[in-house]
Amino acid sequence: MYRINLLKQRLANQIAAGEVVERPASVIKELIENSMDAAATQVNIEVEQGGIKLIRVRDNGLGINKDDMKLALARHATSKISEVADLNAIDSLGFRGEALASISSVSRLCLQSKVNGSDEANGWQVQAEGQDMAIRLEPAAHSQGTTVEVRDLFFNTPARKKFLRKDRTEFARIDEVVKRLALSRFGIEVNLTHNQRSVHRMLSAESRSEKQRRVALLCGPAFVDNSVFVDLERAGLRLWGWVSLPTFSRSQADLQYFYVNGRIIRDKLVAHAIKQAYRDVLYHGRHPAYVLYLELDPAMVDVNVHPTKHEVRFREGRMVHDFLFSALHKALAKITPSDQLAASQTLPPDVGSLPPEPNNPNASLQQGSLKFRETTTPRQSGYSPGGTNGASSSQQLATNLAALSQLHDPDAEVPPLGYAIAQLHGIYLLAQNREGLVIVDMHAAHERITYERMKQAAVTEEIKMQPLLVPISIAVSQVEADCAEQQAQALMQLGIAVERVADESIVVRQVPSLLKDSNVEQLIRDVLSDLLEFGSSERIQARQDEILSTMACHGSVRANRQLALPEMNALLRDMEATERSGQCNHGRPTFVFRSLDELDKLFMRGQ
Ligand code: ADP
Ligand code: MG
């Protein structure tokens, strides 16, 4: 017969360590989080041999009382919560009280500390020994704050050690963890060394430009140059941070940092809301880049969902989703050529002259901070995809000369995209503004303008409904049928008439005429699943936009059509007034800008 025996303390802790201590990087994460919870303003991290040989994290935080030192290494011992109610509003990074116990069960760990304001000359240190993890407490020379030293990780758990990679790979993961944490608390000075070589020295950042410098250091200057700063607040929710311009997209979702009350998280709801916000402006299959901070009442979010705390559960998920989506959607829509140009003027000249990256043709152009400028509704356009507008060539010449002369008059107001000067190979429009040369892809620009106009028309005019000759009946789950029933009114506003006909069956009787040739059943199924998971769905809108986008593309100025100068100028003015006009319907840029400085450099003038 099997007998039951109580596990030795160390073994029990090693089992718990399986969940949170996967590799050196996870140790670093736990230790830095502890320093942050202890209100440290400086954290020094020393790593040797990818963290396998040594990890030492020292902070200047509150420190640990001599009498608590032993408990700090015990499992289920924490200073951060004391009763179940505390779990409902956690404002610290840790709360499970098992990190130090777990780490010390699989390594040689020494904890040294001295509390803030203690009048003792020395601090104290503890270590856990043997299978029972008996704690040895001794005096130690330590100034205010805490040091945790972790040597020989996994020396006693060979199965774990086998899964470790080369030092370099383990260090790369550590670097990523440090980066995430450094982005979460700008006020903390962070130093990182590997094998005695300094890797990062980050001073604490207070102002926005200092913060921006840290973001540039950690995420690359190109990200900052090609992103806008957002800061929005609504109903107790605040969202701030940097989001990439649609034209600065990435092939992988690797530059995406999202923090909830200072804790980095990966969350389906958040990812969905952001993806939706970029839907209409991103090149197909590309991913946006962002460093974003959501701040809300800790009671509104449950972090006790997963041992590594990378997942959270929002108590008002739909409200959060809606807030994120609308905030970012609005921010992206408001990026107009004048914002982009205004931003490009703040560039130091040498940054502007970098050659454009392949997936980022106007790297030097679109950057800086976002101004929430109200875009005006586009006027009736002065150009048409088909014919010319009939102005005689001498008339054109006169208007054009008058326009260009504005450029030399310092008091005259020159529009951001300037005045057209020529057309190049029937594809590009060349224009000059005060600062330099603007090159516009005519088709891309016209396409976006037409598309935005069609979308507006679709909203303002009633969506035309098309009763289906043969109503489509769809077998769904009871939950989905409930959802369809509850949302029938909302769906009706989008032009879709659904009706529940049985416990697990719905019937679609009407759809917007734009969608009559779509796969309606699939669309409704996807919409219901979105509604159940996120509380909202953009799919109907997305499908219609796709169709409008194709129509806009076919109706737009094709290559090789000669435009008269007034037509070109009208196109420029419309671009300035149209939302999202910095990129075409497919997410490609519609214009690039080269300043005179950059052009001078090309010709080595003044060197
Ligand atoms: P948790 O962070 O979940 O409370 P840990 O095992 O990580 O659990 O730490 C146990 C306790 O030790 C903490 O609650 C805290 O009181 C103390 N502690 C750990 N690291 C530090 C530190 N760097 N500064 C001050 N106190 C610390
Ligand atoms: Mg902790």
376-386: pLDDT as tens digits: 333 344 454 44
Of 136 and 358, the one with more pLDDT: 136
Can you tell me the mean pLDDT for 533-555? 79
pLDDT confidence of residue 546: 81
* In the block, residue with structure tokens 């001498």: 394
343-352: pLDDT as tens digits: 454 433 333 2
3-state secondary structure of 136: strand
Of 511 and 399, the one with more pLDDT: 511
CA distance 240 to 490: 30
pLDDT confidence of residue 560: 65
Kindly tell me if the per-residue pLDDT of 358 is higher than 70: no
Can you tell me the mean pLDDT for 32-58? 97
Looking at all shown ligands, the one closest to residue 86's CA atom is 1
Kindly tell me if the per-residue pLDDT of 366 is higher than 60: no
CB pairs under 8 A, 24+ apart, for 127-133? Answer: 128/10, 128/73, 128/101, 128/104, 130/10, 131/8, 131/9, 131/10, 131/11, 132/8, 132/9, 132/10, 133/9, 133/10, 133/13, 133/73, 133/101, 133/104, 133/105
Contact criterion met (CB below 8 Å) for 228 and 331: yes
CA distance 342 to 335: 11
DSSP E strands in 141-236: the ranges are 145-151, 189-194, 197-202, 227-234
Tokens of 550: 């194709």
pLDDT confidence of residue 461: 65
Can you tell me the mean pLDDT for 114-135? 88
CA distance 290 to 219: 10
Can you tell me the mean pLDDT for 479-501? 89
pLDDT confidence of residue 175: 96
Instruction: Provide the mean pLDDT of the chain.
Output: 85
Most confident of 32-41, 130-139, 552-561: 32-41
Kindly tell me if the per-residue pLDDT of 374 is higher than 70: no
558-598: pLDDT as tens digits: 666 788 888 899 999 999 888 888 888 777 889 989 989 88
**Residues with Cβ < 8 Å from 196, sequence gap 6 or more?**
48
For every residue of 26-53, DSSP letters joined together read HHHHHHHHHHHHTT-SEEEEEEEGGGTS
Query: Which protein residues are within 6 Å of ligand 1, measured from CB?
Result: 30, 34-35, 38, 59, 61-64, 72, 78-80, 94-101, 146
Residue 173 main-chain phi, psi, to 5 deg: -70, -35
CA distance 286 to 364: 20
pTM: 0.77
**% of the chain at pLDDT higher than 90:** 50
Looking at all shown ligands, the one closest to residue 97's CA atom is 1
Kindly tell me if the per-residue pLDDT of 403 is higher than 80: no
Kindly tell me if the per-residue pLDDT of 110 is higher than 70: yes
Instruction: Give the Å distance between the CA of 178 and the centre of ligand 2.
Output: 15
- In a mutational test of the pocket of ligand 1, which residue from 100, 110, 114 has the highest number of ligand atoms less than 8 Å from its CB? 100
Tokens of 366: 């679109």
